């Protein structure tokens, strides 16, 4: 426990330093080096550590403080009432947890609250102070207590009234303090960046950064030329006494002529909040400005005030953000996938992280040069991005968070599929065995075949495509495929991706004999797989149990099973003593594969008891599987190979070499018609 606390403390301290560094760039200079989503991800990790180990909390922690120190180039402006920030929530569960914490703190028994939902503008927080209806002071949030006086620049913003009048029933107070947000529309952002480009000046990454830079211009005429916009959303001083809700505050703002976002809405209970949030997650691109979620506030002002403040945020409000397209997580490992043509592709294995509503556990690294370019090490904290529906990729490494225990990645000298030498061909590393990729493809094709997992729609060209794109390299990868990964590929859509994923999920439950057959063990066909399964079926094993069971069986014990000779026994023995194969079994179990033994029946007594059948060729009246099941029901055994123990060989159209061997050994042969007569 002490080691855990010490490790968490070291991690928390590194996070604080890194977050504070990026907060200064973000809040004070509007020139961040990482996205605000990546910064949110770091803050969330720090918050989780402090929640788990409360002794780590410091007053100066980013979880307890707001914004950043104001710039020296502007006069300081003190806030009489602290400008707070909001804690973040990214999922319905986190929202439900927030609601329960608030209910417990307030000691209330009712089920839910009434909320007021405001679109969360991706801009810069400001405070406006009016005296006798005239704008006298305007400032940025700064560190919450002290901001920058940018009054002259705010006077150039068209959405901020320089003078207010009572347009409704509420009189204008002597002093009125209003909070709001300054932002740039998408159209204005594009116009300004275009002008900067023509003048060969540095471009801004997003509207928020440009808005911050525009508001902090020392020359107000430059600010005026940038055409900033603003919404106002709260009154913190000069509020009429008879107001009961946050919604009422908005009505007062409107009556004074302030620009209030028309899309804000009152909602009863979290289910309504979720619907509202989902609507704007789908329609946010239709807005003229950027939003990154919504602020959800307990509408009842008395209840909200009772909640008070915890750290830097009010208890009665939360920033319910859209699922991020970028986040930070830990690089757990780098695995190698081998494509159909033998090319080796590195794939990042990640601590699970949610991006755009999808849990991400893998990301493409494209090639080994990318690992070198990013200076990636296993154990690193990395930034991962998923724009639109494309396959996630690592965009950067936060080296400041390294503990010294990270491991460098070494390009393998041998192919992970067949052990052949790996050769460098420009930017591509490839297995020197030209048949390697094809061999892996055949193994995967066998795994999904009708007699194995029977995954429809995952053969041929589709399997080849997934191999080429680095989505799969071994059977376990098939069950880790995600719908967005497939949908992002050319000529694939959401519908076809959903169909493939649905089919894969349906086939996670499989009979023991089909599973053993799917592994592609040399010389082990359907009947041998059934024989092995029958010998262990009473145990009702899990996938991972197979290794423990079959690795304990000696070469001699395997040969005591019906229809298993030295060659087959050796193949089974070798397969279950191969480390890579045992790792595959573990991965398949983690992927959710469940084994059943329902289809395994003990041989019954019947008119064919003691007889052994072999089938070859194509049958017309029934399938080969149906024929096998029929003789089993009549007490017979089924074998895959012809020997002197074989009683009958049943042949259909295009029989194989088994028929020739049967004739040489004098085994009785049956046509399909003769067979049907025998079993009728």
Residue numbers annotated as active site = 120
Listed as own residue / partner, the contacts of 29-34 with beta carbons closer than 8 Å and 24 or more positions apart are 29/71, 29/212, 29/213, 30/124, 30/204, 30/208, 30/209, 30/210, 30/211, 30/212, 30/213, 30/216, 31/209, 31/213, 32/205, 32/209, 34/383, 34/396
* Residues facing 125 on adjacent strands: 181
Are the CB atoms for 499 and 457 separated by under 8 Å?
Answer: yes
**Structure token digits, residue 659:** 């028929």
Q: What's the token pair of residue 500?
A: 């493939």
E strands along 199-357, which residues? 229-237, 265-268, 291-298, 309-310, 313-314, 317-321, 326-338, 343-355
Q: Which of 129, 112, 220 is nearest to 180 (CA)?
A: 129
The packing angle between helices 270-283 and 92-106, to 10°, is: 150
Q: Is 374 helix (H, G, I), strand (E, B) or coil?
A: helix
Tokens of 429: 């590393």
Q: What is the DSSP letter of 299?
A: S
Q: Can you point out the beta strands (E) in 339-426?
A: 343-355, 358-364, 377-378, 381-385, 393-397, 407-408, 422-425
- Strand 594-596 relative to strand 509-511: parallel, antiparallel, unpaired? parallel
From first CA to last CA, the distance across the chain in angstroms is 71
**For residues 416 and 465, is the Cβ–Cβ distance under 8 A?**
no
CA 160 vs CA 139, 147, 157, 186, 563: distances in Å: 13, 18, 6, 19, 88
Torsion of CA 18, 296, 189, 257, to 10 degrees: -130
Closest CA to 235 of 249, 248, 222, 215: 249
User: Nearest Cα to 77, choosing from 171, 149, 126?
Assistant: 149
Tell me how crowded residue 195 is: count the other CB atoms within 10 A of its CB. 11
């Amino acid at each position: 426990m002490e080691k855990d606390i010490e490790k968490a403390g070291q991690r928390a301290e590194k996070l604080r330093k890194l977050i504070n560094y990026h907060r200064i760039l973000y809040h004070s200079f509007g020139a961040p080096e990482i996205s605000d989503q990546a910064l949110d991800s770091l803050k969330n990790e720090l918050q989780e550590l402090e929640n788990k180990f409360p002794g780590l909390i410091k007053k100066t922690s980013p979880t307890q403080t707001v914004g950043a120190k104001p710039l020296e180039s502007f006069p300081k402006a003190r806030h009489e009432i602290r400008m707070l920030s909001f804690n973040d929530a990214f999922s319905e569960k986190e929202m439900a947890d927030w609601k329960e914490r608030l209910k417990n703190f307030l000691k209330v028994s009712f089920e839910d609250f009434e909320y007021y939902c405001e679109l969360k503008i991706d801009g810069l927080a400001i405070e406006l102070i009016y005296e006798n209806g005239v704008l006298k002071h305007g400032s940025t949030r700064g560190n919450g207590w002290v901001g920058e006086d940018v009054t002259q620049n705010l006077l150039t913003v068209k959405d901020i009234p320089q003078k207010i009048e009572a347009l409704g029933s509420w009189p204008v107070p002597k002093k009125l303090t209003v909070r709001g947000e300054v932002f740039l529309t998408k159209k204005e952002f594009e116009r300004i960046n275009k002008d900067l480009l023509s003048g060969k000046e540095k471009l801004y990454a997003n509207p928020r950064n440009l808005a911050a830079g525009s508001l902090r211009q020392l020359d107000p005429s430059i600010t005026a030329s940038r055409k900033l916009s603003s919404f106002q959303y709260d009154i913190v001083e000069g509020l009429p006494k008879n107001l009961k809700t946050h919604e009422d505050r908005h009505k007062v703002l409107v009556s004074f002529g302030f620009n209030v976002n028309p899309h804000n809405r009152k909602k009863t209970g979290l289910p309504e909040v979720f619907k509202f949030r989902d609507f704007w997650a789908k329609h946010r691109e239709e807005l003229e400005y950027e939003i990154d979620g919504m602020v959800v506030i307990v509408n009842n002002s008395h209840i909200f005030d009772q909640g008070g403040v915890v750290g830097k945020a009010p208890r009665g409000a939360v920033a319910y953000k859209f699922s991020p397209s970028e986040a930070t997580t830990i690089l757990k490992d780098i695995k190698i996938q081998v494509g159909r043509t033998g090319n080796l592709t590195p794939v990042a294995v990640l601590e699970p992280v949610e991006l755009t509503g999808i849990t991400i556990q893998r990301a493409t690294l494209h090639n080994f040069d990318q690992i070198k370019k990013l200076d990636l090490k296993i154990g690193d904290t990395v930034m991962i991005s998923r724009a639109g529906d494309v396959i996630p990729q690592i965009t950067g490494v936060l080296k400041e968070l390294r503990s010294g225990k990270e491991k460098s990645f070494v390009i393998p000298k041998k192919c992970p599929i067949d052990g052949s030498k790996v050769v460098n061909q420009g930017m591509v590393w490839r297995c020197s065995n030209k048949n390697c990729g094809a061999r892996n493809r055949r193994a995967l094709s066998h795994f999904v075949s009708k007699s194995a997992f029977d995954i429809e729609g995952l053969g041929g060209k589709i399997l080849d495509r997934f191999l080429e794109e680095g989505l799969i390299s071994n059977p376990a990868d098939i069950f880790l495929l995600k719908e967005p990964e497939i949908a992002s590929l050319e000529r694939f859509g959401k519908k076809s991706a959903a169909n493939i994923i649905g089919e894969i999920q349906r086939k996670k439950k499989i009979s023991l004999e089909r599973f053993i057959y799917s592994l592609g063990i040399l010389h082990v066909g359907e009947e041998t797989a059934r024989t092995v399964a029958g010998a262990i079926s009473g145990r009702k094993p899990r996938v991972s149990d197979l290794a423990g069971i079959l690795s304990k069986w000696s070469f001699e014990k395997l040969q005591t099973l019906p229809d298993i000779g030295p060659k087959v026994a050796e193949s089974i023995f070798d397969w279950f003593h191969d480390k890579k194969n045992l790792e595959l079994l573990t991965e398949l179990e983690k992927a959710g594969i469940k084994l059943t033994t329902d289809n395994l029946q003990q041989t019954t007594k019947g008119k064919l008891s003691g007889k052994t059948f072999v089938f070859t060729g194509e049958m017309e009246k029934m399938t080969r599987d149906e024929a096998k099941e029929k003789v089993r029901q009549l007490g017979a055994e089924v074998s895959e190979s012809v020997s002197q123990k074989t009683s009958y060989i049943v042949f259909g159209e295009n029989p194989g070499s088994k028929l020739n061997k049967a004739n040489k050994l004098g085994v009785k042969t049956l046509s399909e018609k003769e067979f049907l007569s025998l079993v009728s």
